[in-house]
């Protein structure tokens, strides 16, 4: 057979494989939930996924310059993890992996997305919300989305789909991408909130649309200076990434965003408090632009980045108050965590770096957001469920990719064999019944790293589709760190341990090649 003739055959085979996987997925996830039918109610689940909050950014993880009493209260009455990880050190890959139970490095193009990018998640496959929904949960998504919307060019003035509702959520109220990306409007279910049809929205990431000022042309109009990028349309004194026109009545007010999102999340809990529910709550704090409400502006000694941490803590308090009001605290598993490690200057000159005053956003770890070192993915992670989780600290190695199968197990829901290939059921670890987490785990930035036991191997081999073409001059392909004796990853010991380099790089290749963890 000629190579040309082979191509349609291969595509056909791939299509059939994908089709039968999707069918198996659907059939398995429709199985009934025994917990619901026997009359006992599985826990509600509230997953609070904050943005860019580092390991050292909350008081119960060692921060001293400000206070996070609401988050601390979860730790004082729950289980605080010291070796929990997001899958990646940036948002889109991290969230894609969490929602699908799949390492983002398995799929081409899972990188930080512009605000007009298509939905990355395959809507025919099981997701964290679809599995819980099939088990009888009401599922809601409130906050930052950033895994794409639509399928090609989005009409922001019409129905915006596929998105959260096609991914397994019954309700959604989202920022399409990030607070620093256009369009700066909320989308509720399929529609932009508060849109005036006489002022239609247009969005482009390629060229300027409309005639509103941009950060590049009119920097004198900015209330917050930019330090890198972010020179598109100015909305409310802050220039964003990308260009937009129209939709003036629908544009959010940055300073009110925390309260708006907390309000929508609380309303979802109130509306559904009599059913089992799953809330994926993703505050925009503490991502840039850091625009705290007047209640929080200037309240800390270490600048606006610390102010928005206190605002985030307030948000967590609002959710906890709503749960208490509905008498749901003993019936709800609450997880507080972050999508990736910390960054201080992320493209706006908001003074955070000058005012840091000794605060260490990543705690004792090296690197942060974008980085392959521990600070990139080792994030705060607290599990709280009074009466079911005892207070304590767990140093078990766990990964947010594990939440899909762990939540399913707690909910009595089934995940099809072919779904969530990297997710492990660590529910007994979340509940504190076991301290035995994963034996190995992959960390992602533009590079990959693998953890096993005390060792961590950073692998800077280029891989098509994901990885930046640049490796610093004289930077070795492999770095090996002994995290037990060198948690700060200061000394590369690859040369003195070639056998460990070899066995870890083989394990990494095996996990990649076999398509599952």
Which positions touch Ca ion (CB under 5 A)? 51-52, 91, 339-340
User: What are the strands, taking DSSP E only, across 13-88?
Assistant: 44-50, 79-81, 84-85
Q: Tell me the three state secondary structure of residue 430.
A: helix
**Nearer CB in complex with ligand NG6: 247/368:** 368
Segment (H or E) for 481: strand 478-482
CB 423 within 8 A of CB 415: yes
Closest CA to 265 of 185, 345, 348, 321: 321
Q: Token digits for 480? A: 């090996």
Closest CA to 412 of 239, 512, 278, 291: 278
User: For ligand NG6, what does the binding mask look like between residues 37 and 76, x meaning CB under 6 A?
Assistant: --------------xx------------------------
Q: Which residues contact 243 (CB under 8 A, 6 or more apart)?
A: 182, 203, 204, 205, 207, 208, 209, 210, 214, 232, 233
**Nearer CB in complex with ligand NG6: 200/229:** 229
Residue with the two structure tokens 């009545």: 249
User: Minimum distance between the CB of residue 114 and Ca ion, rounded to whole angstroms?
Assistant: 15
Q: Token digits for 224? A: 């917050």
Q: Which does 244 bind (CB under 5 to 8 A by kind): ligand NG6, Ca ion, none?
A: none
User: Minimum distance between the CB of residue 132 and Ca ion, rounded to whole angstroms?
Assistant: 23
Q: Tell me if 230 contacts ligand NG6 by CB under 6 A.
A: yes
User: For ligand NG6, what does the binding mask look like between residues 239 and 258, x meaning CB under 6 A?
Assistant: --x-----------------
**Nearer CB in complex with ligand NG6: 232/437:** 232
CA gap 137, 411 in Å, rounded: 9
**Nearer CB in complex with ligand NG6: 84/113:** 113
CA gap 74, 56 in Å, rounded: 16
User: Minimum distance between the CB of residue 341 and Ca ion, rounded to whole angstroms?
Assistant: 9
User: Minimum distance between the CB of residue 166 and ligand NG6, rounded to whole angstroms?
Assistant: 22
Q: Tell me if 466 contacts ligand NG6 by CB under 6 A.
A: no
Q: Tell me if 112 contacts ligand NG6 by CB under 6 A.
A: yes
**Nearer CB in complex with ligand NG6: 155/353:** 353
Closest CA to 335 of 43, 22, 40, 4: 43
User: Minimum distance between the CB of residue 305 and ligand NG6, rounded to whole angstroms?
Assistant: 13
Peptide bond into 259 cis (omega under 30): no
User: Minimum distance between the CB of residue 56 and Ca ion, rounded to whole angstroms?
Assistant: 16
User: For ligand NG6, what does the binding mask look like between residues 324 and 353, x meaning CB under 6 A?
Assistant: ----------------x-----xx------
User: Minimum distance between the CB of residue 246 and ligand NG6, rounded to whole angstroms?
Assistant: 23
Closest CA to 460 of 486, 479, 483, 485: 479
Q: Tell me if 175 contacts ligand NG6 by CB under 6 A.
A: no
**Residues in a beta bridge with 450:** 442, 457
Q: Tell me if 205 contacts ligand NG6 by CB under 6 A.
A: no
Closest CA to 370 of 53, 159, 95, 88: 88
CA gap 170, 6 in Å, rounded: 42
Binding segment for ligand NG6 among 32-40, 222-230, 377-385, 491-499 (CB under 6 A)? 222-230
- Given candidates 200, 213, 229, 263, which one binds ligand NG6 under the rule CB under 6 A? 229
Binding segment for ligand NG6 among 134-142, 209-217, 226-234, 270-278 (CB under 6 A)? 226-234
- What are phi and psi for residue 450, nearest 5 degrees? -130, 135
Residues 10-39 that bind ligand NG6 (CB under 6 A): none
Segment (H or E) for 26: helix 3-29
Q: Tell me if 287 contacts ligand NG6 by CB under 6 A.
A: yes
Q: Tell me if 443 contacts ligand NG6 by CB under 6 A.
A: no
CA gap 417, 404 in Å, rounded: 13
Q: Is 131 left (phi over 0), alpha (psi -120 to 50) or beta?
A: alpha
Q: Which does 146 bind (CB under 5 to 8 A by kind): Ca ion, ligand NG6, none?
A: ligand NG6
Q: Tell me if 95 contacts ligand NG6 by CB under 6 A.
A: no
Q: Which positions lie near ligand NG6, rule CB under 6 A?
A: 51-52, 90-91, 112, 146, 178, 180, 228-230, 241, 287-288, 340, 346-347
């Amino acid at each position: 057979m000629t190579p040309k003739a082979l191509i349609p055959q291969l595509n056909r085979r791939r299509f059939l494989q994908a089709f039968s996987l999707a069918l198996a997925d659907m059939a398995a996830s429709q199985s009934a939930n025994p917990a619901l039918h026997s009359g006992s109610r599985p826990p509600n689940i509230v997953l609070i996924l904050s943005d860019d909050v580092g390991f050292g950014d909350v008081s119960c993880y060692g921060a001293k310059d400000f206070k996070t009493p609401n988050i601390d209260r979860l730790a004082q009455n729950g289980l605080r993890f010291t070796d929990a990880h997001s899958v990646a050190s940036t948002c889109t890959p991290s969230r894609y992996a969490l929602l699908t139970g799949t390492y983002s490095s398995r799929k081409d193009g899972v990188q930080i997305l512009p605000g007009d990018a298509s939905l990355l998640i395959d809507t025919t496959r099981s997701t964290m919300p679809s599995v819980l929904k099939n088990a009888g949960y009401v599922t809601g998504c409130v906050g930052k989305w950033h895994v794409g919307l639509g399928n090609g060019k989005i009409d922001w003035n019409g129905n915006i789909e596929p998105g959260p509702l096609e991914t397994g959520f019954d309700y959604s109220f989202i920022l399409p991408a990030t607070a620093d990306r256009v369009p700066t409007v909320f989308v509720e279910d399929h529609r932009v909130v508060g849109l005036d049809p006489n002022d239609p929205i247009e969005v482009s990431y390629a060229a300027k649309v409309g005639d509103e000022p941009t950060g590049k042309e009119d920097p004198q109009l900015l209330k917050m200076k930019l330090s890198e990028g972010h020179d598109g349309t100015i909305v409310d004194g802050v220039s964003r990434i990308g260009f937009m026109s129209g939709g003036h009545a629908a544009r959010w007010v940055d300073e009110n965003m925390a309260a708006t999102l907390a309000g929508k999340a609380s309303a979802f809990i109130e509306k559904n408090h009599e059913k089992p529910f799953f809330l994926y709550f993703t505050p925009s704090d503490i991502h840039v632009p850091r625009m705290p409400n007047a209640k929080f502006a200037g309240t800390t000694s270490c600048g606006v980045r610390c102010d928005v941490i206190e605002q985030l803590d307030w948000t967590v308090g609002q959710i906890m108050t709503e749960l208490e009001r509905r008498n749901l605290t003993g019936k709800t598993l609450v997880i507080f965590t972050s999508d990736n490690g910390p960054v201080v200057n992320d493209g706006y000159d908001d003074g955070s770096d000058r005012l840091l005053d000794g605060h260490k956003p990543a705690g004792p770890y090296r690197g942060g957001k974008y980085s392959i070192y521990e600070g990139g993915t080792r994030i705060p992670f607290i599990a709280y469920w009074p009466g079911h989780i005892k207070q304590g600290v767990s140093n078990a190695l766990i990964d947010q990719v594990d939440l899909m199968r762990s939540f399913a197990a707690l909910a009595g829901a089934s995940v099809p064999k072919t779904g969530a290939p990297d997710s492990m059921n660590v529910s007994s670890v979340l509940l504190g019944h076991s301290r035995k987490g994963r034996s190995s785990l992959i960390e992602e930035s533009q590079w990959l790293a693998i953890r096993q036991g005390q060792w961590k191997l950073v692998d800077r081999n280029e891989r098509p589709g994901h990885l930046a073409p640049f490796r610093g001059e004289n930077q070795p392909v492999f770095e090996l760190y002994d995290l037990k004796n060198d948690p700060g990853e200061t000394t590369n010991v690859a040369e003195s341990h070639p056998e460990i380099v070899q066995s870890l790089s083989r394990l990494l290749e095996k996990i990649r090649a076999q398509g599952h963890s």
